[in-house]
Structure 1
Amino acid sequence: MTALIRVRGLHRVFGEGAARAHVLRGIDLDIEAGEFVAIVGTSGSGKSTLMNILGLLDRPSGGSYHLAGQDVSSLSRDQLAVLRNRLFGFVFQQYNLIPALSALENVALPASHAGMGRDSRRARAASLLRSLGLGHRLQARPSQMSGGQQQRVSIARAMMNGGSVILADEPTGALDRDSGHQVMRLLSDMAAKGHTVILITHDMQLAAQAHRTIRISEGRIDSDSGRVARPDIAPKPQRRYGAPPLWSSLREAAATALGAILASPVRTALTLSGIVIGVASVVAMMAIGRGSQEEFIARASSIGTDWVVVSSDEGTRMPRAPLVLADAQMLKDLPNVSGVMPGRWEQAQIQAGGLATDSDVIGTDRDFQTVHGWRAARGSFFTEQEERAGAPVLLLGHTIAGRLFPDGRDPTGEFLMVNSAPFLISGVLERKGLNQNGEDRDDLVVMPLRSLESRIYGPGELSVIVVALRDMGVLADSVADITDAMTRQHGREDFWLTDAATAFQEAAKARQAQNMLLGVISAISIFVGGIGVMKIMFITVRERRREIGIRAATGARTRDIFIQFMTEALVLSGIGGLVGLALAGGIGIAAAWGFGMVVIFSASVAGLALLGALVMGAAFGCIPAMRAAKLDPVVALGSH
């Protein structure tokens, strides 16, 4: 009959040079299925190293090891993990339970790596714990249990997948006398039921309870009491399950990751600050920027883009001809011109009853309506006859009408004073709101140009001439015609031309560039946050080395450990992204309510920001996750 475990010429060497330690020196050993074997030796004799090699946690430096007739030296890391999961159950001196998991979850861990369904493994774990007298402690964490209870949990975990071979390394070393006796009774019972039990101990009294005692000293076997024949004991059958599906692994990893993150809320919050700030800033600033742009477009649309402004070149050193009404009259005859509005801007004090205010006063003509598409909401615009006669009539903007007549009545037909000159209110203009520069367009008074010059300020130069065009498709030709006509009129080019369409386009480009800059700054914040995630994940891997070793000992493959820590990085960055979105919403509400800003959130921007956070988490979490996945189980457990 082929031995379940057969080793020949087994050597294990650690370190090199002066630090070289030859721990095992040619071990030959056979262990049959169903044996209860005690390997005894003093500290440093090599017994724990031998157990690590037998349990596939470590590889020998030389010699051969056959497990159930299979040479394990050629097996890959993941193939060894599968064998550990199917064949072995470990009972450690320090229990090696994962602190963040309950007793039930610790016991179910090997089955999760074996592909057993969640409900099935939880039911089996609960059954094992109840059989060991821990039915009332299913949801208790290791820190909430005594040492004896924790060791019983580790025994239940060792039996979870069948535990054909139980490797117990000083299982009573950290227990009181009564708890130690209870653990030894459990191991004896498992041996009686057909499990192969290998007990590692320095205590000869404990070793005497085994059926076979092997003494090891300085890396060599000193004595072997020999196998006790037990024909009534059949080899323990192995439980076999398929590899867990990826979605199941991801679900389990996400739940574990969330628990680990919530276990350190302060550190988590500090780690997430970069991602939170980055996501919040990119979403909030883009929302505010988009709102400003939409508001700008709306204002531009209300003003219109089908006009060209002629203004004086104040910076020219040559003699300059003033802009006058004759220039405006001349431009009306040009092709593609639908209207020409002369405009003279002045400041005046307006008085009505006992109220007074300062306001812009515009002297113009009836083309003001055509050029700006601005009609009278109440009353009527001044007539052509009133315009030619310089009649004392005017129209009020919506804002100034509200200031002078706060009771809301229609002021049409009433009189007021403009710099002490009486004027009749012929109407109130339609409400236009703010212009592209954020100025209130309704805070003005409009009157005939001749009225302004004859009754208040006297003759003077026009501030601007606004030319409305019929067809913006020939804007360049119209600008050239205006330039030629004005140059002939003045004898030189002593004026500026500004077309609204170009001005709006330039303003829109400037806003887009500003939004892009904000996006870049926010992306850098998210990038810095990703670096923070990587840093904390490196710390997490270092702090949870023992957990990694426990998972590997219970059958976790490289993929399982990588998924675990990669998922943790993604969950961490995902939480940061969601908190950032919530903060962006708060910023948007504050900007809208507190400062009257237009805020328009974009689902695509929010989605891209969250995706960016996840991508950063994945990119920066990959290296720590790979480092965790490649840790040797024996190194992670902190033993040689």
Structure 2
Amino acid sequence: MHAADTPPLIALRGIRKRYGGGTQPEVGVLHGIDLTIRAGEFVALVGASGSGKSTLMHVLGCLDRATAGTYHINGHDVTTLDADALAWLRREAFGFVFQGYHLIASETASENVQVPAIYAGMPDVERAARAAALLDRLGLADKQGNRPNQLSGGQQQRVSIARALMNGGRILLADEPTGALDTRSGAEVMALLHELADAGHTIILITHDRDVAAQARRVIEIRDGVIVADSNESVDAGNETVDGSNHTVDAGNDTVAYHNERPLDPASSPTRRTLPDLDLRDAATTSGASLQADLREALRTAWRGMRMNRGRTGLTLLGIIIGVASVIVMLAIGEGARQKVVEQMGSMGTTIMYLNSQPPATGGPAGQLTPDDLEAVQALPEIRRVMPVIGDPITVRRGNAERQNYVFAANQDMPAIHHWKLVAGRYFTDAEDRALAPLVVLGIGAKNHFFRDTPDPLGRQVLIGNSPFEVIGVLAERGADSGAQYYDDMVFIPYRSGRARVYQAQTQPDYVVVEAMSSQDVLPAEKAMNDLLIARHGGRKDFAIGNAAARLQAEAATRNSMTMMLGLIAAVSLLVGGIGVMNVMLMTVRERTREIGIRVATGARQRDILRQFLTEAVLLTVTGGVMGLIAGLAIGAGLIALGMQLVFSVLAMLGAFLCAVITGLVFGFMPARTAARLDPVIALAGEA
């Protein structure tokens, strides 16, 4: 089929472009452009500044949408494509060559060339090999590791041409490609564009220089947003031959021969060839770069950016480090203080219930709490300890010293239940209690009264009532509780021994102290004990159970207050770090506006840009979080060495770290979204 009979590669009908509107004055730039370009043509769009040629190029390259009119590529309506499909089209169909080169300053020549292939999902090894081949054929084999500031203008422009060819470059849009070059470099670039046209690429050259435009095979003049002239000399590009040239390009086969370099295919003809057709239906089925590839590229870029901006990165990291470290240290201090408070409150009975006999509400005698009842209560899963108690003021004597002391007869669990430590000797055992051993442990006040002149009372005896008891221990100072009897004046004897030697008339305990597994288990334990005893007592409730409800509420309030206080500290600390992250990311987006435009022009989707900047924010907070964990542990170790009580929690440290990462996501999202939503045309015009 003759080329004139095939559908045109590009067909514009009635294209208009207006800016402004609403509260802004509306400005028209393009006014009904009709244009047809066939595959393989070398077309120059020439016009003065402000004529609309650059706007037309942006519309042709799918960087901007027309306000009105239709745009077809290979018969497919481009105006119906969504953002992702347009990104696919830019990636697969177009290659951009700009006057300002638009290379990413932080990337090497090879990495700049590879950018379009990254978003096409090309594997790393294949991508690097293709970029190396393109740069080699363009005479830049020894410059692949150089960054743009290490290249001349002509070399940078050749890198941008290699980038345009990376994904095939069926349509090359060259915007003033020689405008920033000297005469020799400009001539080399134009020769290269001719070679690419010979290889089957469609070249659309945008220029204001008529001498440059005259080198194209078709010249279209645009003035005031309308086409005023069209030489139409080479519409049938398929039949046109070009002058003999030693420069051969075969970018469709991944390599380009330039400037007398060896050709890829020495047997190839210098006549113009045709590249494979572009099928826009592939846009709906091609996903581009995978999530894994996107994240890998984003991490690489982010890490390089952090290294290149060490000062700013360090200050931002400092905010995150302080936030995470302060959370860890404050939580450790708070947990240490909380445990101390809870321990002190526990000694006052936050897990304790009191069981005693009483007449039932329906009348009748009080119940009897038998040893079997107490064993059954002890077997309940919610119960930790059961301690029967008999206590009354009894005369205690030693020599000439005599006083009424509260004699507390209980089992070996008393120190554990009441969190009471000994300062001398030991407490009696269950075996000694069962053996009715006459042993006594003194409160510190009783010890000072009866053994004022004896530093060590252990092994000595006191009379309790008329029975001698051997002193085996002294309890630590306790004080008094809300006007109750002074604890330190009490003396403590085994329960069975007390019943046999002191309280012979007692048939059951005065009351029973029952300790629940934890303060959260008190109410379930009370219900289980109530149900058990009712069943054992034939359905009669001839007993009473009391608990330390007020103390439980006080403990809960203390825990809640500490948790709220520490939570606020953590929130403020991480908020400060998050604001730092957002600030640095906003600065990064501003500084890298042109890079964003370059990436979009080479096929990046909005979600690719969003992922990249979100990944950078998260990498920043992850790095700061790790360093914050180390700093927090180091500070905590120093405080412990100074004698402070700290309790580190792995869960708290993990929570602080995760909060830092979440902070990066939250505070990095707005800058990332801003970057993803940048207008490509405005971004490309931004400062690098």
Say whether the 8 Å CA contact 2:439–2:472 is kept in structure 1: no
Report the counterpart of residue 513 of structure 1 in structure 2.
561
1:623 aligns with 2:670: yes
Say whether the 8 Å CA contact 2:349–2:551 is kept in structure 1: no
Say whether the 8 Å CA contact 2:328–2:648 is kept in structure 1: no
1:253 aligns with 2:298: yes
- SS of equivalent to 2:221: strand
Deviation at 1:160, TM superposition (A): 0.4
User: Which of the numbers 185, 198, 203 marks the counterpart of 1:197?
Assistant: 203
Gaps of 5+ in 2: 1-5, 240-270, 354-386, 395-403, 429-437, 460-470, 480-487, 492-509, 517-521, 524-546
> Judging changes above 3 Å, is the alpha-carbon distance between structure 1 residues 556 and 341 closer, same or farther for their aligned structure 2 residues?
farther
1:394 aligns with 2:454: yes
Report the counterpart of residue 2 of structure 1 in structure 2.
7
The one-letter amino acid paired with 1:256 is T
> Judging changes above 3 Å, is the alpha-carbon distance between structure 1 residues 91 and 390 closer, same or farther for their aligned structure 2 residues?
closer
Normalising by structure 2, report the TM-score. Answer: 0.66
**In structure 2, what is the Cα distance between the partners aligned to 1:110 and 1:448?**
86
Report the counterpart of residue 276 of structure 2 in structure 1.
237
The one-letter amino acid paired with 1:394 is T
1:580 aligns with 2:628: yes
Deviation at 1:569, TM superposition (A): 2.5
- SS of equivalent to 1:562: helix
Please identify, of 545-554 and 228-237, the stretch whose mean Cα deviation from structure 2 is larger: 228-237
Say whether the 8 Å CA contact 1:284–1:601 is kept in structure 2: no
**In structure 2, what is the Cα distance between the partners aligned to 1:10 and 1:195?**
24
1:558 aligns with 2:600: no
Deviation at 1:236, TM superposition (A): 1.6
**In structure 1, what is the Cα distance between the partners aligned to 2:26 and 2:638?**
66
Report the counterpart of residue 222 of structure 1 in structure 2.
228
**In structure 2, what is the Cα distance between the partners aligned to 1:554 and 1:379?**
82
1:52 aligns with 2:58: yes
> Judging changes above 3 Å, is the alpha-carbon distance between structure 1 residues 90 and 301 closer, same or farther for their aligned structure 2 residues?
same
Q: Percent identity?
A: 46
Give runs of aligned pairs for residues 159-174 of structure 1, distance below 5 A. Answer: 159-174=165-180
**In structure 1, what is the Cα distance between the partners aligned to 2:291 and 2:118?**
12
**In structure 1, what is the Cα distance between the partners aligned to 2:219 and 2:39?**
16
1:109 aligns with 2:169: no
User: Which of the numbers 4, 11, 27 marks the counterpart of 2:16?
Assistant: 11
Deviation at 1:279, TM superposition (A): 2.2
User: Which of the numbers 507, 516, 530 marks the counterpart of 2:578?
Assistant: 530
Say whether the 8 Å CA contact 1:85–1:114 is kept in structure 2: yes
**In structure 2, what is the Cα distance between the partners aligned to 1:13 and 1:512?**
61
User: Which of the numbers 62, 65, 73 marks the counterpart of 2:68?
Assistant: 62
Please identify, of 547-556 and 368-377, the stretch whose mean Cα deviation from structure 2 is larger: 368-377
The one-letter amino acid paired with 1:627 is T
> Judging changes above 3 Å, is the alpha-carbon distance between structure 1 residues 391 and 55 closer, same or farther for their aligned structure 2 residues?
closer
User: Which of the numbers 601, 617, 638 marks the counterpart of 1:590?
Assistant: 638
- SS of equivalent to 2:623: helix
**In structure 1, what is the Cα distance between the partners aligned to 2:575 and 2:351?**
45
> Judging changes above 3 Å, is the alpha-carbon distance between structure 1 residues 188 and 391 closer, same or farther for their aligned structure 2 residues?
closer
Give runs of aligned pairs for residues 327-342 of structure 1, distance below 5 A. Answer: 336-337=388-389
Give runs of aligned pairs for residues 104-503 of structure 1, distance below 5 A. Answer: 104-228=110-234, 229-231=237-239, 232-237=271-276, 242-294=287-339, 336-337=388-389, 390=450, 393-395=453-455, 471-472=513-514
User: Which of the numbers 78, 81, 84 marks the counterpart of 2:87?
Assistant: 81
**In structure 1, what is the Cα distance between the partners aligned to 2:451 and 2:439?**
10
Deviation at 1:120, TM superposition (A): 1.5
Deviation at 1:502, TM superposition (A): 7.2
- Cα deviation, 1:434-468, whole Å, max 9, x if unaligned, reads 999xxxxxxxxx9999xxxxxxxxxxxxxxxxxx9
**In structure 2, what is the Cα distance between the partners aligned to 1:379 and 1:189?**
100
- Cα deviation, 1:123-164, whole Å, max 9, x if unaligned, reads 211221222222222232222322222211111110000000
> Judging changes above 3 Å, is the alpha-carbon distance between structure 1 residues 63 and 306 closer, same or farther for their aligned structure 2 residues?
closer
> Judging changes above 3 Å, is the alpha-carbon distance between structure 1 residues 238 and 392 closer, same or farther for their aligned structure 2 residues?
same
1:611 aligns with 2:654: no
> Judging changes above 3 Å, is the alpha-carbon distance between structure 1 residues 504 and 156 closer, same or farther for their aligned structure 2 residues?
same
**In structure 1, what is the Cα distance between the partners aligned to 2:77 and 2:62?**
12
> Judging changes above 3 Å, is the alpha-carbon distance between structure 1 residues 33 and 393 closer, same or farther for their aligned structure 2 residues?
same
Say whether the 8 Å CA contact 1:35–1:227 is kept in structure 2: no
- Cα deviation, 1:554-601, whole Å, max 9, x if unaligned, reads 011122122122222222333332232222112211211233433323
> Judging changes above 3 Å, is the alpha-carbon distance between structure 1 residues 391 and 9 closer, same or farther for their aligned structure 2 residues?
closer
- SS of equivalent to 1:550: helix
**In structure 2, what is the Cα distance between the partners aligned to 1:235 and 1:585?**
66
Say whether the 8 Å CA contact 1:107–1:160 is kept in structure 2: yes
> Judging changes above 3 Å, is the alpha-carbon distance between structure 1 residues 181 and 302 closer, same or farther for their aligned structure 2 residues?
same
Gaps of 5+ in 1: 309-334, 343-362, 397-410, 414-425, 437-445, 450-467, 477-498
- Cα deviation, 1:198-254, whole Å, max 9, x if unaligned, reads 111122332232222222222222322223244353322269865222222222222
RMSD: 4.4
Deviation at 1:299, TM superposition (A): 7.5
1:637 aligns with 2:676: no
Deviation at 1:295, TM superposition (A): 5.3
Say whether the 8 Å CA contact 2:579–2:667 is kept in structure 1: yes
Say whether the 8 Å CA contact 2:350–2:555 is kept in structure 1: no
- Cα deviation, 1:308-349, whole Å, max 9, x if unaligned, reads 9xxxxxxxxxxxxxxxxxxxxxxxxxx95356899xxxxxxx
Report the counterpart of residue 96 of structure 1 in structure 2.
102
> Judging changes above 3 Å, is the alpha-carbon distance between structure 1 residues 566 and 369 closer, same or farther for their aligned structure 2 residues?
same
Say whether the 8 Å CA contact 2:18–2:28 is kept in structure 1: yes
Deviation at 1:84, TM superposition (A): 0.8
Deviation at 1:276, TM superposition (A): 3.1
> Judging changes above 3 Å, is the alpha-carbon distance between structure 1 residues 162 and 379 closer, same or farther for their aligned structure 2 residues?
closer
The one-letter amino acid paired with 1:61 is T
Say whether the 8 Å CA contact 2:321–2:628 is kept in structure 1: yes
Say whether the 8 Å CA contact 1:545–1:637 is kept in structure 2: yes
User: Which of the numbers 598, 601, 618 marks the counterpart of 2:649?
Assistant: 601
The one-letter amino acid paired with 1:613 is A
Deviation at 1:507, TM superposition (A): 5.7
**In structure 1, what is the Cα distance between the partners aligned to 2:451 and 2:29?**
114
- Cα deviation, 1:398-455, whole Å, max 9, x if unaligned, reads xxxxxxxxxxxxx999xxxxxxxxxxxx99979x8x999xxxxxxxxx9999xxxxxx
The count of aligned residue pairs is 522
- Cα deviation, 1:272-328, whole Å, max 9, x if unaligned, reads 4544333222222112222344456678889998999xxxxxxxxxxxxxxxxxxxx
**In structure 2, what is the Cα distance between the partners aligned to 1:249 and 1:46?**
36
**In structure 1, what is the Cα distance between the partners aligned to 2:226 and 2:352?**
100
Say whether the 8 Å CA contact 1:94–1:174 is kept in structure 2: yes
